Structure 1
Amino acid sequence: MNADEYQHLAMRTLAAGLSPQERLTNAALGLNGEAGEFADTVKKHLFHGHPLDREALMKELGDVLWYVALACDTLDISLGAVMAANIEKLRRRYPEGFSSERSQQRSE
């Protein structure tokens, strides 16, 4: 499955009748909440002695992705375009791959 196909299919599960402002707010709050659930699962592994629950982390990443797709759809941007723009930004920032020195000296 490619990113744009995912975005299209994911939006089939969006509640109807939300305004663009409500959709964007839902995306922002949902991203925050789901990222928090991902972080909580990692915290439990690192600090509470739980085994690393890869299945739970994958589900939370899927939920994060759904809210990213919602934000993209609301802004009329394809998820594929966001991914491509991010890779281009990373290529400009780290043309030879990541380095701490380049990270500390970057201007953008």
Structure 2
Amino acid sequence: MNVNDYQRLALRSEAPQRTRNERLLNAALGLCGEAGEWADTLKKHVFHDHPLDTAALSKELGDILWYVAIACDALELEMSDVMAENIAKLRQRYPDGFSAERSLHRAE
């Protein structure tokens, strides 16, 4: 699926008639909540000897993407542009791939 198609389809399930600030706050709180659920599932695997529940982790990642789509739309951004900007930043920061040395001594 194309990421911008996903963004448009995800918006179909957003509650209607919200202000921009409400949409941004909903996205911010939702991202925190879903990231917490993702982390909790992983915590149970690592520290409580539960089997790794990749299905649950996948569902939580989907929920995280939904909130990212809402945030991007509220900011009048396309997810693909945000993703491309992030890759450009990472290429500049780590032109030859990740390096602990470059991570420790970043120019920015």
* Same-fold status (TM-score > 0.5): yes
- Which segments of 5 or more consecutive residues in structure 2 lack a partner in the other structure? none
Looking at structure 2, the residues matched to 54 and 3 of structure 1 have their Cα atoms a distance apart, in angstroms, of 22
Looking at structure 2, the residues matched to 88 and 19 of structure 1 have their Cα atoms a distance apart, in angstroms, of 31
Q: Which residue number in structure 1 is paired with residue 72 of structure 2? A: 72
Q: Which residue number in structure 1 is paired with residue 54 of structure 2? A: 54
Moved over 3 A (4+): none
- Which segments of 5 or more consecutive residues in structure 1 lack a partner in the other structure? none
Q: Does 1:2 align with 2:7?
A: no
Structure 1 counterpart SS, 2:12:
helix
RMSD: 0.5
Where do 1:1-108 residues align within 5 Å?
1-108=1-108
Structure 2 counterpart SS, 1:4:
helix
When normalised by structure 1's length, the TM-score is 0.98
Which whole-Å deviations, capped at 9, do the CAs of 1:53-91 have from their partners, x for residues lacking one?
000000000000000000000000000000000000000
When normalised by structure 2's length, the TM-score is 0.98
